[in-house]
Amino acid sequence: MQYEILDKINSPADLKLLSVAQLNKLASELRDYITQSVSQTGGHLASNLGVVELTIAMHYVFDFSADRLLWDVGHQCYAHKILTGRRELFKKLRQKDGVSGFPNPAESPYDQFVVGHAGSSIPTALGLALASQKLGTKEKIIAFVGDASIVNGLSFEALNNLGLVKRQLLVVLNDNSMAIDSTQGAIAQFLAKVRLSHTYEDLRRRTDRILEYLPVFGKKMEDALKNFKRTVRMAITPNRLFESLNIPYFGPVDGHDTASLIQLFKAVSHLETPAVLHVYTKKGRGFSPADDNPTRFHSTGPFEINGEEFKKDEQKKTFTECFSDCIVELAKENEKITAITAAMSDGTGLAAFREQFKDRYYDVGIAESAAVDIAAGQAKLGLKPFVCIYSTFLQRSFDQIFQEVALQNLPVVFCIDRAGLVGADGPTHHGLMDIGFLRMMPNMVLISPANGVELKGALKFAAESNCPVAIRYPKDYVDDSLCPEIFSRPFEMGKSIVLRQGRNKLALVAYGSMAIEALKAAQALTSDNIDITVINARFAKPIDEKIVSLLAGGLCIITIEDHAAAGGFGSAVLEAAANAGLDTAKITVLGAGDKFIQADKRAEQLKQCGMSAQKIVEAVRKIVNAG
């Protein structure tokens, strides 16, 4: 495809030369370019289509080679990437050697932080502003945050401390909340109510007033706000929300009106205090399938341009889909079961549960910390809560899992999806630390199922347990084809299972889905006449004594896990072996090394970390040849 304007934009400087009409055409070309490209690569579509005009206007007014633009979550930075010299690389979005799906300073000086979790833009902007205040630098600082992120506790802590800043700091609140019932929490409902109380004309009128009264050249902020409030009388404005936080607030204004946005950004850029500009946008704007179904197109694999998905392999089921089925079945049997998610209903596979058990389903928005405490409270009164949070986001709940759950020994079940390497989302999203941080907590039981059959068994075990249980599983398809009769054996506390008994003095001890890789490796090794044992550990805590007893029997062990080698499952085996005071203990730990793993296909990442069947084969050969 050829684009009249976009093809000539190689840096934001090029964009500053355009007329408003040309900028509007650029917006339309950007939308097309993003849609075409994401249809090939997959990625976040709807959220990016919503912020095209905002991105253009910000780049028109500010100079982000010196000024600082901080994205929150960061998945809405596609237009920004394309406008800042990464147009061609964007065609390899979220692929090796392409651009990542999130801001990344290694890619461009226009990016500040590698981010992917919600709520960090305001507090890091606050830090930048304090540093700038101290160093006497003059760059403009902008935190760009969505209505879903601003309710996160981290955002709130920063808003509450914004008074530390005595210079410019603009928070752009990108409000794309779709309707009352698709948002969670009081603030979301409040914003939705505000939104419904406006006509399009109101937005225009308010923009005019803001422009009229903003202290463009040195007028006092307080006067401006007073004048602004006097002339803009609305039934409801989010003013009081920010007023109690003592933050000057402007808006809401139309986030798709490029010309007005440019004027507004120019006006607020002169403020010498922190301020909030509240902007309405429409997720998925300009692409009709995304318009119709923004949730579906929030993050997507490659899709066809007419909005139809690539056909998914019908033979294969993901761990998430298996979970979805199992939790519904368990909930039918046990009415004490509830499910709690933090804005990830679809991603964690709770959509079906939500449909069938509306009164036992809780979405608290992006509030992982509170989600765990709510579960603790429910468990205290005898319910059986299942907390469904991605591994990387569960890091937000570390302290709550420790104090409110483990210390009380409450029977909360943690369903940790996206544990291990996650593929295209890259380093912000890998779940490589959950075993490590959870296994330090007394009372905690850690499980990982090898496949769909085991996931069912693990969930059943957890549902019947009287202590906290965490079940981790990856973003991957399940493979239920191998030795199904063994995998279907019920889970027993701390008991591993033998998947394959070999003659050689070597055992693969695998945790979770790595058991399948281990089986494949063992199979492949038979052609070398190497016949090894394969153990499916099932538990990372407690560690089965039988695993240690293999060492006492003189075997070498290779542990395999889709987790950081530091502090993980293999580390737990090492500790158990050291604790048993064995004469000799030859253990090799396979896991992710001490570095961040960039975006790529998950299979490639596993290979890179030495955890694929092929890599296991190589590790075994090395040991066998050495011994």
Structure tokens at 20: 């408003």
Residues 199 and 220: their CA atoms lie apart, in Å, by 30
Of 201, 308, 314, 594, the residue at the interface with a second copy (CB under 8 A) is: 594
Structure tokens at 217: 């050249």
Minimum CB distance to a second copy smaller for 54 or for 375? 375
Of 36, 197, 549, 579, the residue at the interface with a second copy (CB under 8 A) is: 579
Q: Reply yes or no on whether 368 is catalytic.
A: yes
Phi-psi region at 33: left, alpha or beta (left = phi > 0; alpha = psi -120 to 50) = alpha
Of 34, 367, 462, 537, the residue at the interface with a second copy (CB under 8 A) is: 367
Of 7, 8, 96, 163, the residue at the interface with a second copy (CB under 8 A) is: 163
Closest distance to a second copy from the beta carbon of 97 (Å): 20
Q: Reply yes or no on whether 396 is catalytic.
A: yes
Spatial CA neighbour of 555 closest among 576, 573, 533: 533
Query: Counting contacts by CB under 8 A, is residue 134 touching a second copy?
Result: yes
Of 13, 20, 21, 164, the residue at the interface with a second copy (CB under 8 A) is: 164
CA dihedral for 402, 403, 406, 407, sign (positive or negative): positive
Closest distance to a second copy from the beta carbon of 361 (Å): 11
Closest distance to a second copy from the beta carbon of 223 (Å): 21
- Amino acid (one-letter) located at 129: A
Active-site entry in 53, 368, 404, 517: 368
- Report how far apart the first and last C-alpha atoms of the chain are (Å, whole number): 59
Which residues ranging from 189 to 228 are in contact with a second copy (CB under 8 A)? 189-190
Of 382, 485, 553, 625, the residue at the interface with a second copy (CB under 8 A) is: 382
Minimum CB distance to a second copy smaller for 240 or for 312? 240
> Backbone phi, then psi, for 423, in 5-degree steps?
80, -125
Which residues ranging from 26 to 85 are in contact with a second copy (CB under 8 A)? none
Closest distance to a second copy from the beta carbon of 610 (Å): 12
Is the omega angle on the peptide bond into residue 252 within 30 degrees of 0, that is, cis? Answer: yes
Options 7-15, 120-128, 464-472, 482-490: segment touching a second copy (CB under 8 A): 120-128
Query: Counting contacts by CB under 8 A, is residue 125 touching a second copy?
Result: yes
Q: Are 469 and 461 in contact (CB under 8 A)?
A: yes
Minimum CB distance to a second copy smaller for 184 or for 318? 184
Helix (H) and strand (E) counts in the chain? 26, 17
Minimum CB distance to a second copy smaller for 187 or for 482? 187
Q: Reply yes or no on whether 193 is catalytic.
A: no
Minimum CB distance to a second copy smaller for 3 or for 437? 437
Of 77, 126, 459, 471, the residue at the interface with a second copy (CB under 8 A) is: 126
The full length of the chain comes to 627
Of 95, 124, 149, 281, the residue at the interface with a second copy (CB under 8 A) is: 124
- Maximum distance among all Cα pairs of the chain, rounded to whole angstroms: 86
Options 225-233, 314-322, 476-484, 579-587: segment touching a second copy (CB under 8 A): 579-587
Closest distance to a second copy from the beta carbon of 299 (Å): 18
Structure tokens at 424: 């295209």
Please name the residue ranges forming H helices in 166-316.
Answer: 185-196, 200-213, 221-231, 239-243, 258-268, 288-292
Radius of gyration of the chain measured on its C-alpha atoms: 27
Query: Counting contacts by CB under 8 A, is residue 230 touching a second copy?
Result: no
Minimum CB distance to a second copy smaller for 37 or for 121? 121
Closest distance to a second copy from the beta carbon of 200 (Å): 24
- Helix, strand, coil percentages (3-state) for the chain, rounded to 5, are 45, 15, 40
Q: Are 536 and 515 in contact (CB under 8 A)?
A: yes
> Backbone phi, then psi, for 363, in 5-degree steps?
-110, 115
Active-site entry in 68, 140, 206, 283: 283
Residues 149 and 120: their CA atoms lie apart, in Å, by 9
Closest distance to a second copy from the beta carbon of 307 (Å): 33
Which residues ranging from 532 to 571 are in contact with a second copy (CB under 8 A)? 551, 564-567, 570-571
Minimum CB distance to a second copy smaller for 31 or for 439? 439
Q: Apex CA 396: angle with CA 387 and CA 443, to 5°? A: 60
Query: Counting contacts by CB under 8 A, is residue 244 touching a second copy?
Result: yes
Which residues ranging from 416 to 475 are in contact with a second copy (CB under 8 A)? 427-428, 432-433, 436-437, 439-442
Instruction: Report the run of H or E that residue 68 belongs to, with start and end.
Output: strand 68-71
Of 158, 214, 350, 413, the residue at the interface with a second copy (CB under 8 A) is: 158
Q: Tokens 């998610």 — which residue?
A: 341
Options 173-181, 264-272, 357-365, 598-606: segment touching a second copy (CB under 8 A): 357-365
Would you state the torsion angle of the CA atoms of residues 539, 388, 608, 512, taken in this order, to the nearest 10 degrees?
A: 20
Of 81, 117, 167, 256, the residue at the interface with a second copy (CB under 8 A) is: 117
Minimum CB distance to a second copy smaller for 78 or for 393? 393
Closest distance to a second copy from the beta carbon of 510 (Å): 16
Q: Tokens 């996160």 — which residue?
A: 152
Angle of helix 452-463 relative to helix 319-333, nearest 10 degrees, comes to 30
Instruction: Tell me how many residues contact a second copy (CB under 8 A).
Output: 118
Q: Tokens 């050829």 — which residue?
A: 2
Spatial CA neighbour of 456 closest among 494, 423, 484: 484
**How many other β-carbons are positioned within 10 Å of the β-carbon of residue 585?**
17
Q: Which residues pair with 7 in a beta bridge?
A: none
- Amino acid (one-letter) located at 370: A
Residues 400 and 290: their CA atoms lie apart, in Å, by 36
Query: Counting contacts by CB under 8 A, is residue 115 touching a second copy?
Result: yes
Query: Counting contacts by CB under 8 A, is residue 313 touching a second copy?
Result: no
Options 213-221, 237-245, 275-283, 604-612: segment touching a second copy (CB under 8 A): 237-245
Query: Counting contacts by CB under 8 A, is residue 413 touching a second copy?
Result: no
Which residues ranging from 166 to 185 are in contact with a second copy (CB under 8 A)? 184-185
Give the active site residues. Answer: 283, 368, 396
